[in-house]
Amino acid sequence: MMEKAFTRSNILFTFALALALYAAYLVRDVILLVYVSALFAVVLMPVVHGIMRLRIGKWQPGMGSAVLILFLAVGGAIAVFVMFALPPVIRDMREFAAELPTRGPQLLSRIHKLPLAQRVNVADLNSKLQDFASNFATYLFYSVKNWASTLFKVITGVVLTVYFILEGDSAYHWMLSFFPVDKRQRLDQALLRADVRMGRWLLGQGSLMLILGVSSTITFELLHVRYAYALGVLAGLFNIIPIAGALVSISLALLVAAIDSWGRVLGVAIFYAIYQQVENSFLTPRIMRSSVDLPGLAVMISLLLGAEFAGIIGAMVAVPTAVLVAVLLNEYLVKNEPIISPPTSIAEAKSK
């Protein structure tokens, strides 16, 4: 009788587990959004705590005020950037539109002088460009729904991040309540260690963004590329997105450099080719290892796996997730060898 009951409970448990996994698969996008929001809340908590330590006279901001100050600071920085970066771009676009009837043929003739472009029929190229413009406009028209969905997810993720910052402690202790009391303290200590290391990820990522932004700005200024400061800032900001961020910043810089000369295009391409090699092989492994205490190989593998599983979002949260996994594996699966103290004398060494 007991054996039949045990078999029945195993069957029910297997069925319930399969049902739960299927339900999780159906709502995988929602689970990913909640996980990313919670992870960003953990990463931003050191910044929020730093703001809470500020004092203005006798007033000291609380948790809600610190979050508001953080968002106001980010919004203010974006507003200042737009205020200084957009006017030159708009002015040059107006000038380019006014000069397009005369500069268009000059640009086509310059392209036609390239070695590989001499075999290209200019009339055929114009026809293909017109077809591309028409198809691209149609694509933009039909993809408004996808853009709106993406914007909604971004706004929802920001709101969830704020809620996790404000109410994260309650959610954390509620999650711990599902575990037995005798195992709860060990898990709590492991997660707290992971929290400290994950919080330092933002410092390492900020260092990489600052290095790329400064070096890009200096290079663009030396090459006399237009909007050097704006392009440098964008390159640094987009560096938070692995792979895709670099592609976007490279495309923008090459497009702007192509307005003036192919020599500047070549200079920008050489700079990015060298910098990507330096960042991937030297900067990222060492900075992330010192920040989150992960080997360089683990950082690179986590970025590849994150990009494969969830694209850009997965690559963004790959390193903090790797930190969490590493701490839990080290706590529960890795068996550390006992430390054997060396002999203190020759006689003791011979006896051993």
Give the Cα-Cα-Cα angle 306, 196, 336 (nearest 5 degrees): 80
Orientation angle between helical segments 201-222 and 262-278, nearest 10 degrees: 150
Work out how many domains the chain is built from and give that number.
Answer: 2
The residue type of 56 is I
**How many Å apart are CA 66 and CA 257, to the nearest integer?**
41
Q: pLDDT (tens digit, 9 = 90+) per residue, 98-127?
A: 765 666 566 666 656 655 555 555 555 555
CA atoms 233, 237, 239, 243: torsion sign: negative
Confidence category of residue 332, pLDDT binned at 50, 70, 90 = confident
- Tell me, yes or no, whether 90 and 189 share the same domain: no
**Range from 139-148, 177-186, 280-289 that averages highest in pLDDT:** 177-186
Q: How many residues does the chain have?
A: 352
In a domain, 196, yes or no: yes
- Tell me, yes or no, whether 160 and 30 share the same domain: yes
- Tell me, yes or no, whether 171 and 245 share the same domain: no
In a domain, 108, yes or no: no
- Tell me, yes or no, whether 162 and 236 share the same domain: no
What pLDDT does 349 receive? 47
In a domain, 267, yes or no: yes
More confident position, 120 or 327: 327
Structure tokens that stand for 125 in this block: 């190229």
**Range from 108-112, 333-337, 341-345 that averages highest in pLDDT:** 333-337
- Tell me, yes or no, whether 231 and 274 share the same domain: yes
**How many Å apart are CA 233 and CA 157, to the nearest integer?**
24
241: pLDDT strictly greater than 60: yes
What number is the average pLDDT over the span 331-340?
A: 66
Range of the domain at 172: 26-54+61-99+150-178
Question: What percent of the chain is modeled with pLDDT above 90?
Answer: 6
- Tell me, yes or no, whether 246 and 169 share the same domain: no
CB–CB of 202/44 below 8 Å?
yes
- Tell me, yes or no, whether 189 and 316 share the same domain: yes
**If 0-12 CB within 10 Å is exposed, 13-18 middle and 19+ buried, where does residue 146 land?**
exposed
252: pLDDT strictly greater than 80: yes
Q: pLDDT (tens digit, 9 = 90+) per residue, 151-204?
A: 888 889 889 999 998 888 888 888 888 888 888 888 889 888 888 888 888 888
- Tell me, yes or no, whether 157 and 236 share the same domain: no
What number is the average pLDDT over the span 85-106?
A: 69
- Tell me, yes or no, whether 164 and 221 share the same domain: no
In a domain, 238, yes or no: yes
What pLDDT does 270 receive? 92
- Tell me, yes or no, whether 162 and 285 share the same domain: no
Per DSSP, the three-state class of 62 is coil
- Tell me, yes or no, whether 205 and 156 share the same domain: no
- Tell me, yes or no, whether 243 and 270 share the same domain: yes
CB–CB of 198/323 below 8 Å?
yes
**If 0-12 CB within 10 Å is exposed, 13-18 middle and 19+ buried, where does residue 106 land?**
exposed
More confident position, 274 or 342: 274
What pLDDT does 80 receive? 87
